[in-house]
Structure formats: structure tokens, C-alpha cells
Amino acid sequence: MKKTILVVDDKASVRTLVREYLVEEGFRVVAAENGLNALSVARQEKPDLILLDIMMPEMGGYEFIREYRKEHNTPIILLTAKLEESDKVLGLELGADDYVTKPFGMRELLARIRAVLRRAEQAEPQSTILRASDIVLDKDNHTVNVSGKDVELTPSEFDLLAILMASPGRVYSRLDLLEKLQGTSFEGMARTIDVHIRNLRSKIEPDSENPRYIETIFGVGYRFRSD
């Protein structure tokens, strides 16, 4: 079955260009011209992934993420013309999975889409259930349970936790984790990992300021506590 991608951008030329390219690559594509319209389309079409512009009338990308993340954890890739690192970080903090800076090449965009979809599908042939401390992660059903309570994670947060839990005690650098998440060699911010870790801790840690599960190894990276 074809994957459905929702393209959200206020420029018709961008929507048309992306739609035509992705349709040729075998995707089903729906579109919206702003965040408000995108909420309606997303609720009706239930896309597998959303390509989201930031600066739009009616409702911008950030506001869309805030609203949509209350309902769904559908993967979101930001299409951003903003070059400031703080803008990208804000998008990731709100729950975006990745970003592509405008102007972007279509081949790069396609590779990012496929990488994020692979993560969402949890296609890697590994043990389907990971258990560590009070956390149970089920890859097949894409669920996480912490101390008997289900926790909703975005695809990137889920993958990051799975990577760390699969090797308790192993220290991963930020670049190691970024490469594993993206599945590509495209340029990315190491700070992306810090944002995802912060979001993940806020959802699974009893006290995110004093992490019990995910440990920071200063100057190196992160690890899941082996005890």
C-alpha cells in the first residue's frame, strides 16, 4: 500500500513541485496551504508522514505541531527557510522528527523521508521487546511502558530509546546517535540529539532534572544506565 504524505506549505509552487516528485516515487500525496487547513486534512487522511513549512498564514508550523501532537505522533519533517539554529531546535522541542533547510534538493528530501519512515516502521530485524529497569519497549507494536504506564513517544524518541536500551552501559556520542537516527550522511546538528533526549526524559523519567534511566556522560554523549 502506498504511503500517504501530507505537504503543508503556503506556496503553491512548492506544494506542486514536491507532490509531483513524490508521486513519481510511488507515494500518495495530499496537500494543505496552512496549518489550520492541515489539521483538517491530517485528521481525515491520516498521513504516514507530514512535510511542514514553518512560516505560514492562518496557522504556522510551530502552532500546528503543538495542536497535532496532542492527537497523533505521526512523523513530521520541517521545511524551514530559517537558518537560525534556535528555530530548528524549537521545532524539534515541539515534536518534529527532522528538518530540511530551504532551498533543498529533491533527492535529499526523499532520502530524509525514507529514513524517517523506516524509523516509524521499526523495520530493523532485532529483538522485538526490550526490557531494562522499569521500562518495556515493544518494537512490533511501537509501545513503551514505564513503571506500568503506557507512554506516547514520537518515532525519533522511540528509536532513540530503543538504541540506548539495546546496549545498556554503552556510551554513544551525539554524532553516533544522529547517524543512527537519520540513516544518512546528511549534515545535521548534534544538538538535535540533545533536544530529543530532553523530550524523552520529560516523558519517561520520574525526575527529568535528575535522570534515572538516561545518563549524560559529559564531553562524550549518553548511555542507558546498566543497573
Which residue in 115, 141, 119 sits closest to 128, CA to CA?
141
* Together in a domain, 205 and 140: yes
CB–CB of 184/111 below 8 Å? yes
* Together in a domain, 177 and 113: no
**Residue range 113-161, pLDDT digits in tens:** 988 888 777 544 455 888 888 899 998 888 999 999 999 998 889 999 9
Q: 216 phi and psi, to 5 degrees?
A: -90, 125
Query: What pLDDT score does 191 carry?
Result: 78
The proportion of the chain whose per-residue pLDDT surpasses 70, expressed as a percent, equals: 92
* Together in a domain, 88 and 176: no
Across 27-31, 67-71, 73-77, 113-117, which has the greatest mean pLDDT?
A: 27-31
Query: What pLDDT score does 152 carry?
Result: 92
* Together in a domain, 115 and 206: no
Query: What pLDDT score does 27 carry?
Result: 94
Query: What pLDDT score does 40 carry?
Result: 94
Measured from the Cβ of residue 197, the count of other Cβ atoms closer than 10 Å reads: 22
* Together in a domain, 62 and 141: no
* CA–CA dist 224, 210 (Å, integer): 14
* Together in a domain, 38 and 136: no
pTM over 0.85: no
Query: What pLDDT score does 169 carry?
Result: 87
* Together in a domain, 133 and 35: no
**Residue range 35-72, pLDDT digits in tens:** 999 999 999 999 999 999 988 988 999 999 999 988 88
Residue 96: domain span:
4-121
* Together in a domain, 138 and 115: no
Query: What pLDDT score does 161 carry?
Result: 94
Average of per-residue pLDDT values in the chain: 87
* CA–CA dist 1, 138 (Å, integer): 24
* CA–CA dist 54, 114 (Å, integer): 21
Give whole-number Cα distances, 87 to 101, 142, 193, 218, in Å: 11, 29, 15, 25
Query: What pLDDT score does 115 carry?
Result: 86
Number of domains making up the chain = 2
With 50 as the cut, is the pLDDT of residue 96 above it?
A: yes
Long-range pairs for 86-90: beta carbons < 8 A, 24 or more residues apart: 87/54, 88/189, 88/192, 89/189, 89/191, 89/192, 89/195, 90/62
Q: Which helix H or strand E contains 25, and what residues bound it?
A: none
* Together in a domain, 18 and 73: yes
Sheet holding 149-151, edge to edge: 129-132, 135-138, 143-146, 149-151
* Together in a domain, 182 and 107: no
In this prediction, residues 181-191 reach a mean pLDDT of: 61
CB–CB of 72/27 below 8 Å? no
Q: 136 phi and psi, to 5 degrees?
A: -120, 120
